[in-house]
Amino acid sequence: MKVFIKFDFTSICNKVLNDKLQELNIKYKTLSFGEIEFLEKVSKEQLNTLNTSLEEYGSEIVENQKSILVQKIKDTITDMVFNEDSNINVKSSVYLSEKLEHSYGYLSNLFSEVTFTSIENFIILQKIEYTKQLITKNELKLTDIAYKLNYSSVAHLSTQFKNTTGITPSAFQRIITKRRELTNKLKN
């Protein structure tokens, strides 16, 4: 039997972090996504153990200030794109500047310097990943997805989708439909 699972990356990350900190008996408070404050002194050994245990989930403690801000940019973009509750209809540059309290020019230059890609490209990649998830769930039409992700039109979404994946969203939908049909035939 095949099932499709919806992931809430923010909840998953918070759960992993909470579990690991509890295992190490470290008291903390969450400041924002991916940012915590220790409420008592933490030894270097505890930090190393925490970092090692987070690495198995593709996470790590970030200590370089530039890398910290780049991670905050990525987390803010991911939250902006994937957050079901927020209908963000402001420009991403304004959103990032307000959330991170830096000028967009500074954030953009820093992001490019550290990641060798632009914020705009990262946003497009996140939107396309979310589009693929929404298409796979088969709950929304392309028009609704384009609106939800703040695209000016379905054509704009389709162009970015094809430039990123090599196929159109409609072709992606057909592939998913065919896979479901094959899976259902194999079950019966």
* pLDDT tens string 70-118: 999 999 998 888 876 655 567 889 999 999 999 999 999 999 998 999 9
- Positive or negative torsion for Cα 60, 62, 67, 68: positive
Token pair in block for residue 71: 């991670």
Predicted TM-score (pTM) of this structure: 0.68
According to the model, what pLDDT value does residue 3 have?
74
Q: How far apart are CA 172 and CA 165, in angstroms?
A: 9
Given this model, what pLDDT does residue 38 score?
86
What ranges do the domains of the chain cover?
1-61, 64-187
Query: Residue 84: what pLDDT?
Result: 66
Backbone angles phi, psi at 28, to 5 degrees: -155, 170
Under DSSP, the state recorded for 84 is S
Nearest alpha-carbon partner for 172 in 139, 142, 127, 144: 142
Give the C-alpha distances (Å, rounded to integers) separating 104 from 20, 49, 72, 95, 170: 34, 36, 13, 9, 34
Count CA atoms within 13 Å of residue 110 on its CB side. Answer: 19
DSSP H helices, the chain, are: 9-23, 44-55, 65-82, 92-100, 104-115, 119-137, 142-148, 154-165, 169-187
Residue carrying structure tokens 């924002």: 32
What tokens appear for 90 in the block?
């402001």
Distance of CA 148 to the CA centre of its chain: 16
Domain 64-187: assigned CATH number:
1.10.10.60
Q: Are the C-beta atoms of residues 54 and 17 closer than 8 Å to each other?
A: yes
The whole-number mean pLDDT for each consecutive block of 10 residues of the chain, a chain of 188 residues, reads 73 85 88 79 88 86 83 90 68 90 93 93 94 87 89 93 94 89 80
Q: In whole angstroms, how large is the CA radius of gyration of the chain?
A: 20
